[in-house]
Structures are given as C-alpha cells and as structure tokens.
Chain A
Amino acid sequence: MPRDPKNPRALPEQSEWTFDLIEHAHEEIRRVARKFGLDTYPNQLEIITAEQMMDAYTSVGMPVSYNHWSFGKHFLSTEKSYKRGQMGLAYEIVINSNPCIAYLMEENSLTMQALVIAHAAYGHNSFFKGNYLFRTWTDADAIVDYMVFAKNYIAECEQRHGIDAVELLLDSCHALQNYGVDRYKRPAKLSMAQENARQKEREEYAQSQVNALWRTVPRRDEEEANIVIPRFPPEPEENLLYFIEKYAPLLEPWQREMVRITRKISQYFYPQRQTQVMNEGWATFWHYTILQELYKEGIVGDGFMMEFLQSHTNVVYQPPATSQYYSGINPYALGFAMMSDIRRICENPTPEDRDWFPNIAGTDWRAALDFAMRNFKDESFIAQYLSPKLIRDFHFFAVLDDDKNEKLTISAIHDERGYRYVRQQLAEQYNLGNREPNIQVWQVNTRDDRALTLRHTQFQRRPLNQHAQEVLKHVARLWGFDVHLDTVDPDGNVISSLECKREKRNRN
C-alpha cells in the first residue's frame, strides 16, 4: 500500500497518551492484526502506575495471589533496584486469561503504549490462544477464578491453623514447585464453582485412601513371610507434589489442598517456561510487523517509528559471548530472528533454504508461521527451524566442558560440518528435562519405617547443587518420615546418597 502522509486516521505525533489515543491506536492495531489473521482472546487493557507494576511483578504477574513472605522479598528487591534507577520496569506484563489482561504503565509514551498493545495484546495473546502447550495445560477461562479460590482458601487456612503453619507448608511446597508438574498427563478443566464443590469431596476421599494404604492389621508371622511385598509406587512418579498430595501419610486434608494449589499454579506456568524463545519471538515479530504496517499506511509517523525502533533494537540485541554484558542467549533476539527467518524462507528462499526446509520454502509465510506457533515448544521449534543462515548470523559455537578433560573444547562452529550439531545442542539446551535434575519418587518403604526414597538420575554426570540437602528437609516435612535421595548413573547404579531423618518429636 502506498504511503499516504495525510491519512485521516493518522495518530498525532506526540508522546503524551490519552485514553482516546490509546483506543484509537488499539483500533488500528487490531485491524492490522486481523488482516494478518491473528486469533486472540478478547483484550482487557489496564492502565497502572509504576508501583502497581511492581506489585504485579512480584506476585508472578497474577492479578490475585495468596500471601507469602517470598513475594514480599521479591517486592523489596524490585523496589530497591527500581528506586535506585538500576533497573527499568518491564514495559509489559500480560496474563494468560480470557479476557487477556495486559498492563500499560502510565509513565510510558504513546509510542510505547502502542508497542505494548501490539506485543502483548496481540502477540502474546494469540500465542496463548494458539500454542498446543497452552491449550493443553492451561485454562484461560478459569485461571483468575482459580487464583481467587486459592487466595481465599489459603487465607482461611491461616485463620484456622495460624500463619506460621501455613507459611511452613508453603515454603516446602515452593521448594518443590518445579517438581509439581505432570509432563505427560492432561489436566482436567474446572471452574471455581466446580473446584469448590469437588474440593470437600476430595478431602474426605483422599484421607480415606491414605488410611487404607497405611492400614496395619496384625497378621500371623508365617503368613507374612510368604507374601511378596508389592512395590509402591508401582511406577516411579515424576510429579513429587502430586505424590505427596495423594500419599503423604500425615498431612491434614487442608494441607493436601494447599499442596494441590501450589502444584496447580506450577502446572499453569509450566508452558511459559517451555516456550520462552517462541513466545517472546512471536510477540516481538508481531509488534514489529504490525507497527511497520501502520507506518506503511501512514497511520504512524517518522518520530513514532524512531522511538519504536530504538526500543525494539534494544530488546533484540544479542551481546556476543565475549562481551561483559553477555548473560546467555537473549530469548527475544533468538525468537525474533527465527520468526523473521521463517518469513524470509517463505518469501525469498535461497537454494540452501530449499535444501533444508523443502516444506516451507516458497509457501505462504503466514500459514508457515501459524503452524510453527501452534505445534512446537522451544526445544522442538529450534530443532525444526533454526536455519544455517541464522547459525552464521549469530556466529554460534559449541563449547564442551567435560570435567574429565583439563581443557574446554570447541565441539562445533557455524560451518557446514557444524550446523546440525549446533542446532541439536541448542535445542537440548532448551529442554527443561535436561536443565532441571531428573528426580522422581522411587519407592516407599510401606512395611517398615515409611521412608520415602527419591531417585536422581544423573544427566551428563552433573551433580546436584548445594540446596539439595535443604530441599530434602522440605520433602521430609511434607512426607512426615525419613527421606532418602539416591543419585544413580544411567545404568541404575547408586553412586551417592543423601538422607534427611525426621525427628519424631518435631512432627507437626
């Protein structure tokens, strides 16, 4: 479309925003987003102050959350660095809910508000609605209701059982939060009303099950000798919090419910942790594409674009590994580059691209991007779409650090021999299963001291960090009896062991 500087719908060149201007900008962004076929939840834009942004920040971005000291700790440190000017606040926080809530900070200029609307309310929003992980694991309709339920339930527990008891329990649950996730099973969707109705029922049922498990009816000796003791659990369980909720012998019903709440929340955030590069890349790609389109149509002017491009380039900057500012790969940079690269492969494929991506080279870029967004997570997305051109552009290289060797080795670089290797390694780097130690419930000693044994299967011989003993204490608090943590090599030989004895007098 030819650029028309006298477009009657043009936004005025000013940095102050007004409600009318935001509505106007949003209207234009929505129109363009629809034109590109972005499918989103309805949007709810909320103007907030910097303090409120800090509040939102510290309650992990949820509009309501239960109270816990750790959120206060995050608030204090955020507040400190913000007040000293060491850090700007995030421009945007967006909540995966229906309607999708995006926060606009009042300090931002009109340009930044438009950027945030395009990025959050259309980029992230359509990702939440389309990506298979979010569709499977999260329920945008129910999350806000569920958080309200959680907040009220925990507040009620505090009143009934005391703040300290609740705090101790939450500390323990938080320590295991990353292990409160089902990686393969699909969760059921429930609204608050149903959740409430079923919660009581569940409490009673769960308690009766636990009692059955630990029933100790005396048997005669000779009979016992012949019984093959069934293994419990029959299969290792990866979801530690789930296992504790269902089988910890000494937890009260309300404690089980709180374990459940923390693991539900953890499950809700699990897709976000798995799609960092994709999610940010998708949102960045779309704010860039949408605002460029608005500029072409003459709706925004040169001044707007200068301001926008400045913050855009800051966001997608990738310092090289030798830079003092380097702190790992910037997910915005990688994601944006990959999304843009898919479009390039579709529109202007080189022979190399035709060779590597025969399925998408020369096809409709919108369809190709939409497919990529819907059906991948970081790990598989990189394994599928990272092109040799990007590997060259980023100058990616692989460093092998094996503690058996004295020196580090460069195992691959951005050349013909290295492309596939680099791509595979980078994908592995985003595999949560490799990043976090693989720890599962191995066995419960149902006949003797009721000790729980966890098993850490080593990945690449990597040891556990120093917190392990500390976390084990939390497991023991939840379980109520001794807890062992065996580290095994890939062949299943136990190579080291930690344990935490539960003192009988201190049980609470």
Chain B
Amino acid sequence: MTYLIDRRLQGKNKSAINRERFLRRYKSQIKDAVGRAIKGRSITDIESGEKVSIPVKDVNEPNFGHAHGGVWETINPGNKEYQKGDQFNRPKGGGGSGRGKAGNSDQTNEDDFIFELSREEFMNYFFEDLELPNMVKTQLTATTEFKNQRAGYNMSGTPSNIHVLRSLRGALGRRIAVGGSSRKAVLHAERELIELLEEGVALDDPRVLELKHLIHHLHTKLLAIPFIDPFDLRYSNRVKVPKPMTQAVMFCIMDVSGSMDESRKDTAKRFFILLYLFLKRAYDKIEVVFIRHHTAAAEVDENEFFHSRESGGTVVSSALHLLNKIIAERFGSGEWNSYVAQASDGDNWDNDSVLCKQLLINTIMPRVQYYTYVEITDGPPQNLWEQYAEVTDHHTNFAMQKIVTPADIYPVFRELFKKQPK
C-alpha cells in the first residue's frame, strides 16, 4: 500500500523553537553584536536584519575524537605516479593528498559561526534595553498598515461580496443579448400571422398552423433563458492599499562640546533612533536634519554628527536659532510635521538658557509637533534644565527627561505614543 501525502501546507516552521532556543542560549553575544550594529548603522537604516557572528568555539558541541598524531594509514583514490615505497614530505596545511575525513575534526578552521537575525529579532534586541511597554513595541514593529479600498468588480469572490445591482444589470444584458435573434424571429412570425389572418386566411391553413407552432416554440425558448446565471454574478472587489501618510521632518540636535563623551553620544543615538522609529510608523516620508552645536551650531551629515569631536563651551541658543532658520526656510510650508529631539549634558552658558526658553516658547514650539529633550547626566540639574522646565507650563507638546541609561529614554516619548491613534 502506498500513500502520497501533500505536506506542503502544514508544519512550516518546525525549527522555529529550536532557532529561538539557539538565540536564547547566545543572548549575550547576540546583544553585543546588536549593540555594535546600532553604533555602526545610520539612524534611517535601523530597521533591517543583521548578520551576527559568534566565535565557533563558543557554539561548538564537543565530542571525543582523534587528533592528528600517531599512525594514520589512509586509502586514497586517484593514484597517478606513486609506487610502493615512495616517500614524500608531509603536505603543509592539509592540502595535496588530503587526509580525508579521517577524524582530525579539531583542525577545522576557526571561522566565526555567522547567521542572520531577522528584522523582528533585531528590533527586539534593540528594544530590550529601552524597556518599552509591550504595546509600544507592537506599534513599532508592525509593518506598514493597509486599508481596504474599493477597486471595481470581480467575477469571483465570496457570496457576502455579491454586488446585486451589477449582477442584475449583467443578467439583463445577457438576457437581451442571448434572446435577441429569437425575439426578432417571434416578432416576424407574429406580424406575418396577423397579416395572414387579416387577409382572411382560414385558421387551419397549414401556414398559419406552422406559424403558430413556431411562435410557441420561440416563446418557450425565450422563457428558457435563465433569469440569472452564475456567469452574471459580480463581486465587489477590495484591495489593500498602504495607508497614505504625510511627511515629517525630524531634527536631531546634539551638544558636541567636550563634555559629551562616546557613551553619552551612544545613548543619544538610541534616543534619536527611537524617535525615528516612531515617526516611521506615522509618516511616509521622513527627512532627518542633524544639527550639532558647541558655541556655534552647524548642520552636518549623520557621520559627522556622531563621530566628529569638538571641544569648547556650549551655547544652546545657537542651535535653536539655526533650527528656527531651517524650519522657516525649508519646512515652513505647512506640509511638514516637525519633530525635534535634543540631547545634551545640560551645560550651557548661564545667560543663554533664558534666551533658549524665550526662543522655544515664542517661536519654535508653535511650529513643531513635538519637542523632546534629554539631559544625559547623573549630576544635579543645571540652569538649562530649570529654564526648560518652564516651557512645559506653556506647551503640552514638550517633553523632557534626565537620563543615565537607555532604559530611561522611553518616558520622554510617553505622551507621543499615547497620542498615537491605533
């Protein structure tokens, strides 16, 4: 007895659990790799999988085996010139006459074990230190949202989608088309019959009988045309189209004065990435503008933003002036939603902080959707923090937070995520 079974539709991801077990076991290595990847990647490029490599010796499954040494006598195929008793030097590095699979498994090359993390897995590791609430995670990882849209009619579909008007209209058309010639013939026959009868031909004249028979036959034929046929059915067709979204611009402002060290910049980067991810959900097109400042501000590209070193004092208002200028010049048309993320260690010239507050309250805040500020420091708040705190009284779309580790970032966005309609 034979069975032929189609298994294609079932049990697709049998190894999913084993894969997850593997990731679980090497979590710390993978997290390191993800951390390195985040440092190396551009903000706008954060959402893709990642190739992770783990040293082979860590993932090895040890087994007893022979190492090279002692006596090995092997049989090999393909002798060309050797005779019994020939002697030759040991090949270097396993080339040439090859020892085959003869058990020296410990000599396999020490390459790394490399595998791909999927986008979801990568994002999960990224979110892990950020301590996002679950709902936010799903919002961020969800792929593009679609909405159903009507797209004409279809010949096939589910009964609930039958479009009655269209179907009946089609049926009517078909009845007219199919019955056309018969109807015409009936019309002719009836006219001829009336003419004959008017001429006074007897009712049992063979021609009259023939015509009556024909008319009867044609009527039966017309009646046999179905009122509605499966062929007539039309179904409403709906297609999924990505939700149309508008465009946004995101400003990253960072203090690059000497006091911002690498680890602070790294934390700031995560902060910017999170805002970027949020915007990515809500908007189709996002421009990212990088403004860095010490005593003077400049618009730079991403690489320079994160990697160049500057030193000197700090004048925050210089960045705000530049921000204001860029919004007015390039993004002022009302088609852009502006978001600002500012990261700093809190240092500022004393008399400058008041100016910053004024700028924010009067000029910048009315123009932007949301303004976030993080102060990456573990020291006591400085004057900039106090001045900024007053901004919250005037504008609700302003959020600020003092952070030490990436886990502290999320509260800055709490308002933002809450507002997001789902």
Contacts and interface: CB of A to CB of B under 8 A. Distances in A.
Interface of A: 19, 22-23, 26, 30, 42-49, 51-52, 54-56, 58-59, 67-73, 75-77, 79-80, 99, 106, 163, 167, 171, 174-175, 177-179, 318-323, 326-329, 394-403, 406-415, 417-418, 422, 425-426, 428-429, 435-437, 439, 458-468, 470-471, 474
A323 B88 CA distance: 18
8 contacts: A52-B7, A76-B22, A328-B100, A397-B82, A417-B84, A437-B66, A460-B70, A462-B69
Interface string B67-95: 10111111111111011111111100000
A26 B4 contact: yes
B64 A436 contact: yes
Nearest to A26: B2
Nearest to A57: B15
- State the majority secondary structure of interface residues on B: loop
A113 B115 CA distance: 31
B56 to A, nearest CB: 11
Contacts of B25: 69, 167
B418 interface: no
Contact of A400 (B13, B65, B73, B101): B73
Contact of B70 (A52, A70, A167, A461): A461
Given A403-B70, A462-B69, A463-B67, A46 B2 contact: no
A63 to B, nearest CB: 9
Interface string B246-273: 0000000000000000000000000000
A54 B14 CA distance: 9
B135 interface: no
Given A175-B61, A400-B71, A429 B97 contact: no
Contacts of B60: 467, 470
Given A42-B1, A437-B64, A462-B70, A407 B89 contact: yes
Contact of B82 (A69, A318, A410): A410
Given A69-B22, A99-B3, A413 B74 contact: no
Contacts of B11: 52, 55
A415 B60 CA distance: 43
A62 to B, nearest CB: 11
B12 A52 contact: yes
Contact of A396 (B17, B20, B75, B105): B75
Contacts of A398: 73-76
B80 A395 contact: yes
B239 interface: no
Given A178-B64, A407-B90, A426 B8 contact: no
Given A45-B4, A413-B84, 18 more contacts: A45-B3, A52-B11, A52-B12, A56-B14, A72-B19, A318-B77, A320-B78, A394-B77, A395-B80, A397-B75, A399-B74, A407-B88, A407-B89, A411-B84, A459-B70, A460-B72, A462-B69, A464-B65
Contacts of B79: 321, 395-397, 413-414
A174 B64 CA distance: 11
Given A73-B22, A321-B78, A458-B70, A46 B114 contact: no
B372 to A, nearest CB: 38
A429 B106 CA distance: 19
Interface in B317-342: none
Taking residues whose C-beta sits less than 8 angstroms from the other chain, chain B's interface range is: 35 or more
Interface of B: 1-8, 11-15, 17-25, 59-67, 69-80, 82-90, 96-106, 113-116
Contacts of B89: 406-408
B21 A413 contact: no
B15 A174 contact: no
A426 B102 CA distance: 12
Contacts of A464: 64-67
Nearest to A121: B2
Nearest to B14: A55
A465 B105 contact: yes
Contacts of B77: 318, 320-321, 329, 394-396
B63 A425 contact: no
Contacts of A460: 70-73
A418 B90 contact: no
**Centre residue among B2, B19, B60 by max chain A CB count within 10 A:** B2
B65 A437 contact: yes
B116 A80 contact: yes
List the 9 closest pairs (A to B, CB-CB), nearest first.
A320-B78, A461-B70, A328-B100, A72-B22, A72-B18, A467-B62, A321-B76, A462-B70, A470-B62
Nearest to B65: A465
A329 B100 contact: yes
Nearest to B73: A400
A67 B18 contact: yes
A43 B3 contact: yes
A436 to B, nearest CB: 7
Contacts of B98: 321, 326-328
A42 B1 CA distance: 6
B61 A174 contact: yes
B71 A401 contact: yes
B316 to A, nearest CB: 48
Nearest to A56: B14
A400 B255 CA distance: 70
A459 B67 CA distance: 12
A470 B59 CA distance: 13
